[in-house]
Amino acid sequence: MHAIDTPRTTLAPSNEPRSFTATKLSVIAADMVVCTCGVVIANALSTASANVASATFVLLISWAFWLSRARLYSIRFITRRSEEIRRIIDSSLRALGTTALLGFLFRWDISRQWLILASMIGTGALLAERELLRQRFNARRRTGSMRRSIVIIGDNDEANELREMFADDQNLGYEVEAVVATTHNPSRPELLSDVFLCLERTGATGVVVAATAIPPAHMNRLVRDLLDSGLHVELSSTLADIEPHRLTVRPLGRYPVVYVEPVTRRGWRAAAKRAFDVAIASTLLLLSAPLLAILALLIRLDSAGPVLFQQQRVGRDGVLFDVLKFRTMVENAEQLKADLTDDNEGSGPLFKMKEDPRVTRIGQILRSTSLDEIPQLWNVVRGEMSLVGPRPALASETEAWDDDLYGRLRVRPGITGMWQVSGRSGTTFEEYTRLDLFYVDNWSLVVDLSILLRTIPAVLKSDGAY
């Protein structure tokens, strides 16, 4: 029998680099080591039980199973830090539940204290280990390694934005080798020929398709041929800045459609956020009381004026409130601001200066360490602010806002937020706007936890603080 010729364009199947497999195995090993360490520490801190060996084995196996099921060893599912944290916490809870259920069914003598301690310590260790690995991998990507070479199919506005995103954020791990033009409306055979000639010339192992640049009649055949050639295929959407857990792909007739879950800002999640805010803010105020007294004394000795600086800011739903800070400038700083307008280094309506002459000597230290913001914990206790949220804006700044930016008023402003941990004063106004709206549209307890954890190193490094 003779096979007929089929009009299909293919490449030799591409193999995943061995380095990717080795990296994946090393991450699995690191996860198991830190989980085992968590169990060992829990054994040392709790009373021994008769079936601790069996329970330890089940807990570790359950952890390995649920971490794998959560796709925590596939980079495409954990590009965003908050998503990785959410999946780790979910996997740990499932491992805890699995162990408790098997212990109940087989009537094991298991200490509840041990099981909870092992899960909590192991989860904390996993989060710390994954953050260290993320930093290490990002550093390697910035030097040119651990990147996937790709071709972008399309050259319209969406494709151009994708290319700029990959160039600006090297932590994503993509190296754009070439772009296949589509604005001249090529026929399907021409498009397929252009794509595969480009792939053969560049040796790219994946493609990112700008979906709006490809006619629907061409899409299925293009994707099918690319997959048959062993390439990694990703399709963009016009949706940007949305958490993946809010997206559900489901069939609708012939088409897979993406259902977008609505944002929940009320109910038990909001109550849990408020309870967390009050508990943490109250505890930090009590613990920092001696430090607050020392800082107040230093401020009074350094320059004339009150210890606290109160300034009216815009809160949730546009309600005005007085934000509290330690005074870091001379007493007549607001009057002097008009003379410094030409020296403004901020973006958009923000006023920022690296060498602001109004800042006092102790004020420079307070600003670089963010200690000037400790009094805002009292704003949190009073319900005017949250630990995490958009930056509280001045009423004068809102005059330059567009309609989109008013959406940030749907939540309480925060002491820290995505804007603060992503460069702080060094972030452009456009980026500040995008990050604030991302938080408003994707708020969750896990996102808050992720931001709080990132705030600590940002403050210690004084990133963009002035």
Q: Give the residue, 394 or 382, on which the prediction is more confident.
A: 382
321-343 in b/e form (b: 16+ CB < 10 A) is: bebbbbbbbbeebeeeeeeeeee
Q: What is the pLDDT of residue 189?
A: 92
- How far apart (Å, rounded) are the C-alpha atoms in residues 412 and 211? 36
Decide: 322 and 311 in contact? Cβ < 8 Å: yes
Mean pLDDT on 269-294: 92
pLDDT band at residue 70 under the 50/70/90 scheme: very high
Decide: 432 and 357 in contact? Cβ < 8 Å: no
State which amino acid sits at residue 370.
S
pLDDT digits (tens, 9 = 90+) for 104-145: 888 888 888 899 999 999 999 999 999 999 989 888 888 888
The answer, yes or no, to whether residue 67 has pLDDT greater than 80, is yes
pLDDT digits (tens, 9 = 90+) for 191-234: 999 999 999 999 999 999 999 999 988 999 999 999 999 999 99
Q: What is the pLDDT of residue 3?
A: 46
Mean pLDDT on 243-247: 83
The dihedral built from the CA positions of residue 239, 245, 247 and 253, taken in this order, carries a sign that is positive
Decide: 286 and 279 in contact? Cβ < 8 Å: no
Q: What is the pLDDT of residue 27?
A: 92
Decide: 213 and 182 in contact? Cβ < 8 Å: yes
The answer, yes or no, to whether residue 1 has pLDDT greater than 70, is no
Mean pLDDT on 66-72: 92
The first and second tokens of residue 129, run together, are 């280990």
Q: What is the pLDDT of residue 6?
A: 44
Q: Give the residue, 203 or 329, on which the prediction is more confident.
A: 203
Query: Which of 5-19, 202-216, 358-372 has the lowest average pLDDT?
Result: 5-19
pLDDT digits (tens, 9 = 90+) for 387-442: 999 888 888 888 777 777 888 888 899 999 887 777 545 556 777 778 888 888 88
Decide: 210 and 234 in contact? Cβ < 8 Å: no
Set out the domains of the chain in order of their start, with CATH numbers: 18-142 (no CATH), 148-238 (3.40.50.10700), 268-461 (no CATH)
pLDDT digits (tens, 9 = 90+) for 72-102: 988 877 788 888 888 999 999 999 999 999 9
Return the half-sphere exposure (C-beta side, CA atoms, 13 A cut-off) of residue 127.
22
pLDDT digits (tens, 9 = 90+) for 21-51: 788 889 999 999 999 999 999 988 887 777 8
Q: Give the residue, 466 or 274, on which the prediction is more confident.
A: 274
The answer, yes or no, to whether residue 335 has pLDDT greater than 80, is no
Q: What is the pLDDT of residue 391?
A: 85
- How far apart (Å, rounded) are the C-alpha atoms in residues 147 and 346? 34
201-227 in b/e form (b: 16+ CB < 10 A) is: eeebbbbbbbbebbeeebeebbbebbe
pLDDT band at residue 348 under the 50/70/90 scheme: low
Angle subtended at Cα 97 by Cα 93 and Cα 101, rounded to the nearest 5 degrees: 175
Q: What is the pLDDT of residue 17?
A: 53
Q: What is the pLDDT of residue 4?
A: 46
Residues of the chain with pLDDT > 70: what percent?
Answer: 88
Average pLDDT in the chain: 85
